[in-house]
Structure 1
Amino acid sequence: MNTKNQFKNFLSIIDAIPASIYWKDKSGKTLGCNKYMLEMAGMERKDIIGKTDYELVWKDAAEKLRQADEFVIKNDTIYETEETGLLANGQKHTYLSTKAPLYDEATEEIIGIIGVSVDITDRKKAEQLQKQKDKEVFDQISQAVETLSGSIAHEIRTPLSIIGINIDRLQLEFDKTLTSSDKTEQVNKIKELINNIKFAIKSASNIINMLLVKLRNIFHTNNASDTKLKPYSIKSCINEAIQEYPFYNDEYKAIVWDDAANKDFIYEGNYLLTKHVLFNLIKNALRAIKETERGKIYISLRTDKNSNHLIFRDTASGIPPKMLDSIFQQFSSTSKDGAGLGLAFCKTIMNSYNGDITCNSKTGKYTEFVLSFPATNNT
């Protein structure tokens, strides 16, 4: 095979490679290239020969390209770098370029460079997008940690205070039993104090569970929507939430819920998460009742053609109109002590059921939340 045919075969091989292949002399003039580079430059092979990067469409990047070429020639070494330039189609692309010395076969002297440039534009975009996502996640985690740290400090302080106070009182009652003739009265007081401590421990445990669920929801925003939905009785969930909620003393008397008078319906969701939604609503309502020193919590059910509804109304302080639009935002709060996570959590959970939670309120009169669940075949 003669030299001409060998060169044609060589060109046909490199033309089939999906990367830019080129070789230049020591002054930077193009000696040859493959079809891929010709398409990048928007030129014919005969027109690109003898041209430097300063004369091609990516001339704005020519100085940096030339510096890389000179580094290879001066140091007689292979060099890898990322290069960005404008193409004939008007788009900027980024390439991972590997350049090596080009030797004269007879003298083995360096006569230029040979390079291969692989398009990594899509990869760079993906990396940039990932960096942006990582930053968003980091910012979200930082905000969540800061907010939750305040929430944990506030929420846990109350049950710990209850435990501390009751332990002090318990010590006093034990001291009294040593001198008191009425042992029965002292024993009853001690039992009451022990029950108070048990309540505080249960309350702290419940708070920790709620915070953990909220934390998972913040860090893994798709978890709720990825949860497999199963059919459950809403009345069963309400009854269990009321039974398990750590009411203090006679707080439970504020709940007005008539199991027999309300018709049950089946909803598709997550039983534990639904209970935590109710825990959040009960907790907020009890706080409002305590602050205003009045009010009740009314829970009822109703159904219509397409949806089933749980109505949760408290008759305490109500929510000011200017705050209603933002109460479901993740770091918004209607309470000066709140972390602003509860109602956003409730919204996320209800949306994951293809349902919703809405609120209407009249300041000084009531606050009403309506939890809407899609009707199911089991309803």
Structure 2
Amino acid sequence: MQFRSIKFRIPFIIIVFSTITVVVTGLLLQYIALKDLESGAAEKNQIIAGMVGNHIDQYVEDASSIVKTAGSFSSMSYGDLSKVESEIFRIYDNFDHFDLIFYMNADARMIFSKPTNENVKDRVYTDRNYYWEIIKEKREVSISPLLISSVLEMPHFIIAAPVYDLGDEPVGLIGAGIPLSNIQQVIHKTQQDFPGHIWLLDERGTIAVGPNEGALKSLEPIENYEVNAGGQQLDLKTLISRGETSSYSFTRAGTQYYGSVAFVASTGWTVIVEQDEAAFFKDLKDFNYKLTVVVAMVVMISLIIGWLMANRITAPVYGLVAQVRRMTRGADGALNPTEPTEPTEPPEPANLRSYPQAFDEIGELSAAFTEMRTQLRYHIEQLESAYQKENRLQEYLNNILYSVNNGILVVGQNREITLFNRAAEEMTGFSAEDRIGTSIDVFLEDLGLDLKAQMDQALDFGRTYKEIGASMQVEQGDRRYLRMGVSPVVDGAGETIGAVFLFRDVTRQVLMEDELRREDRIRAFGELSASIIHDIGNPLAGIANLIELVRSENCPEPLKDEVLNLLESEVSGLNSMVINFLEFTRSSGKTRTKEKLATMLENTLRLMQSEISEKQVDIKLSPMEDLPEIFVDKRAIKQVLFNLIRNAVQAVAPAAGGQIDIDAVVDLKTVRISIKDNGAGMDENQLEKLFQPFNTTREEGTGLGLFIAYNIIREHGGRIHANSEPGRGTEFVVVLPLEEGADV
């Protein structure tokens, strides 16, 4: 067989390639295994530390549940200590979780225990932290640090649960000791084949379980030494004090050690796991041996498979070449290039298939390529057609979005504007060409719209805002009012990929509403003027009569003084009426700013403090620190609050017990203010006339305060009403919109 033959070269290339691939892969795996030795050690230690911590946590949870159950049973014994003793001794006999169980009273004296020790009979255990946590701090369960048992004279942990009296006050506690041998068994069962060392520390760093066999006789802290944790040099105790699961390494006596720190969730205990590098190099040697065997097997299998595949690949080509050569020669074996002959089917060569025309592997390959070319051309045409349809559909949708009357603005996840339709251009005065690709934050800032919070909520949390009132200044100096909605755009997986702004121009509607309010105000002004003319007439007539009386020569001096006092009272009443009338005629709500409702309420109460104190009224003001700012005419709303609170103060009984509750609640679009008193209340007839001008039940009142308050709230797009029953007090409710220009 010639070395230049394809029958030799293809098998040779496959064999060489397979051998090189397997060998290089093996060396690469060995290199990666060597490089990942330290990270593998840290990960393995973390897994072991976590498993040990979880098993100890489960053991402590089970033990705590038993002790809490004993405490609950003892609380239901209603002071019968014999029942308590019987119950906890039964637990000691039936559960192997504890080496000691006892009952301690509220004076920190151990009443009885199992087992017992007469030497500690009169001892007071106020030095035990579990006593203070259960009796004084009233915790449901307490787990002590490691301590030396005064009964057993051995280290153990104490789990304590309270025993309550009928008033749910702790009168004692049930305590149970967890022996360190049980915890050592838990660790041994978890990692009995682990070649390294495992420590368990209490929250103060005292060793509870260590690598040395045998029970501990004293309390010893863990050795503190320098370690490297994440490239940072620090001592072990500092690393533990961070309270975070972490890995570290250190060198001792020329040997590298790898360790991990984990924590028991329910107790704050620390699990430390350490291994030296010898254990990991043993694993690496085992890996190298297994890798060598695998590489050898793969090389042998590759040689066999490569040779078989090479023969199978080259056989059709060799047969095709042989047949082509026979077909180009005559029967005598000589070439005849000048006389064409009819193609004849050549005989099938020995040990080869017949490969007539295009039915061999090469022919099938050619046919497959031809079919693939046809299918590819067809699919390209289909793809082009689908692309054109997609473009037409996209253009159609863009035309729809561009033609609608509402402004539409689309923002991507990167906060850049991707669509800006014609209506948006007309409303904002900006062109789509200038704004597409720019930041939505810059766009909102240029318009003076404070909508960054809503945009963040839509993009980050998928929140939808249906109606947001906003206004902006246009180039001509006029103000344009908008209603805006913000919705998230989600993909098929439900992930937020952007947001859509839909806004419409409601300037005409707002102006019409303002005009209607002005007309209502004019009508109210007319009604009020007519009422004032009517109500001023009577006092003026009375004043004229009194003046005539004073001019009379027969009027005695005492009578003159009385008449002058009456004149002063009538003039004062007329003056109050005129002042209230002027307050009403002032235009409210023209200069609205963002104000804190809590601040306005506090300032109003501060102005009325003397009157409130004089009447000994108890004001209950709910917490309002989280209330948002609202767009209002500050002076007008303070006047409303002043009138409502003053009415409530005057309505409560002058005797002790007068109370006013002031509360404010926020929903999605409004803030609801409630001012409720416990005064005499009103009947239905009084409620119907409540907001009419000159309607008052007090001799010194003008009857205009609530009328003015009603009109101010309406001008702010809000509403006001009262709830009252005779003998059950009165509640005034004011509802105001949160957004500027909105109605409720």
TM-score normalised to the size of structure 1?
0.42
Higher relative contact order (CA 8 A, sep 6+): 1
**Structure with greater Cα Rg:** 2
TM-score normalised to the size of structure 2?
0.23
